[in-house]
Structure 1
């Protein structure tokens, strides 16, 4: 890296922001750069030490700094070009996001699978039974045991199941051999901590 910094006319940043990369472009690294270098940062704002950058701009070591992570202390400074962070707002990206959202909502309605929820964990599996029960509950011990007990009491065989949790909530998908009556889900909903149930017929 140090060798490259001494030779480059343009430097672009392509890395995540973490403890080891925070302030990656600092006074020490700027001192290695060619005078008149141009820095493009479309990765993360915290990769650049803004104090060191402003001094380098004033001393004309850095000729241009272009970033889509504008911060207040970089606004209005000549040769610093802040642009909006709108990479996800192109027509193509918005169309892809809309398609993804529709597909994931349809999958949830058809199978109970959850992907990219804010409050619930990702939880999905192929349907492997005649009927599926989806159950949302508080993330507390012995929920799966109590739910399984209700199913056993009603002579229902579990073909497949998955349980995932996130924070205060958990979610279950249980595939059953044979039909499931609403009486079963009513019993499950009586369990303390169960938030909702839904029966999904297999196709």
Structure 2
């Protein structure tokens, strides 16, 4: 039985799916797959037996993706699995940015003696907020979460303007036609009363919202970050708050520079922490892991191109390799030279990494061994697997 190693508390919905498919969870055998949530895998030793690592969640900065790619290990995430949970917390934060709910609750809890209701009535003028209706929300990133936030804000009678540098047909279908599309991020920053950020963290957009961009916000604007720590330059946000160039900053990512700031609300990275989101993400992760290990198909990988085709032949050879001009000819020539008939060959590329699936109906044990011996010697090939169709 194939062993899957887990880190963190993975929802039973995902674990039960894997056991129903015949896997063992955290058994004695060397693992073929890893399922995790927030474990820092940069600090973990990942065995050479591992073929895939799946994060039950969207972010993957806790995973050494580049190193794993060079070892031929596929890395997956579950985009959209916790989108509704993050959307709801973002909307809650939006309300807290409009109404001083936290301060009002704190005042009510600290009120002692006499007629509490009367004292609250006397002082509640200091907790007067504004309504969201008629205000403008700027949404940066219109993916799984951002599109949901934008659409919900419309239902709150807000004006919504969105910007997504990767806007495509799929993204466009997610958002309501009444949402305005900005030509650039500066347009969002300058027009919005509230700005919420929903883009992934990578090397290109660390501190995407920096001091220069914060300076383009209205002084009375509120900034929300429920995407990833590091998307906003927190030190720049604090400086703007202290200089009254920004009214409020609400984030799901604790940073010591923000502590004890009365204009900041910090939640402890709970955006995706709902029972439903954990169940959905775990089940998605389990299915993607099983799909890859048994068929070679790639869905929601962060380091491999997507291929999801029916496994109709008796065998498949999956090859992770560099995206170089001569590779496909080398692969095809090998099979031809050894009289192994290719029923179908599929190839996709993602930046400098390519993935090839070869479908076969006949393969001897000797040919099986020969494939591994030959391709293991090619520097540009990271991983080769031969899969048998157990449903055949």
TM-score (normalizing by structure 1): 0.70
**Is contact 1:45-1:70 (8 Å) kept?**
no
Give 1:98 shift.
Answer: 0.8
Change (3 A) 1:45 1:89: same
Residues 1:174 and 1:78: Cα distance change in structure 2 (over 3 Å):
same
- Work out the CA distance in 2 between the residues paired with 1:3 and 1:113: 44
Q: 2:239 maps to which residue?
A: 51
The correspondence for 2:366, drawn from 154, 161, 183, is: 183
Structure 1 residues 97 and 72: alpha-carbon distance in aligned structure 2, compared to 1, 3 A threshold: same
Change (3 A) 1:109 1:197: closer
- On the 8 A contact 1:30/1:56 being kept in 2, the answer is no
Deviation at residue 46 of structure 1 after TM alignment? 3.4
- Alpha carbons 1:66, 1:80 under 8 Å: kept: yes
Contact 1:67 1:83 in 2 (8 A): yes
Change over 3 Å in CA distance of 1:109–1:73 after alignment to 2: closer
The partner residue of 2:214 within 25, 28, 34 is 25
Whether the 8 Å CA contact 2:320–2:354 is kept in 1: the answer is: yes
Task: Point out the structure with the larger strand share.
Answer: 1
Aligned residue in 2 for 1:13: 196
Q: CA RMSD in A?
A: 3.5
Name the counterpart of 1:135. 318
Label 1:132 to 1:122 Cα distance change in 2 as closer, same or farther (>3 A): farther
* CA–CA distance in structure 2, aligned partners of residues 42 and 89 of structure 1: 16
Look up the match of 2:262: 78
Determine the C-alpha separation between the residues in 1 that align with 2:297 and 2:240. 49
TM-score for the superposition, normalised by structure 2: 0.40
SS at match of 1:76: coil
Contact 1:151 1:184 in 2 (8 A): no
Higher mean displacement: 162-171 or 120-129 = 162-171
1:70 to partner: Cα distance: 3.4
C-alpha spacing 1:86/1:102, structure 2 compared with 1 (3 Å): same
- Which stretch of structure 1 is more off in the superposition, 68-77 or 90-99? 68-77
Structure 1: gaps spanning 5 or more residues: none
8 A contact 1:112–1:200 mirrored in 2: no
Structure 1 residue 168 displacement after superposition: 7.8
Pick the structure with greater CA Rg: 1
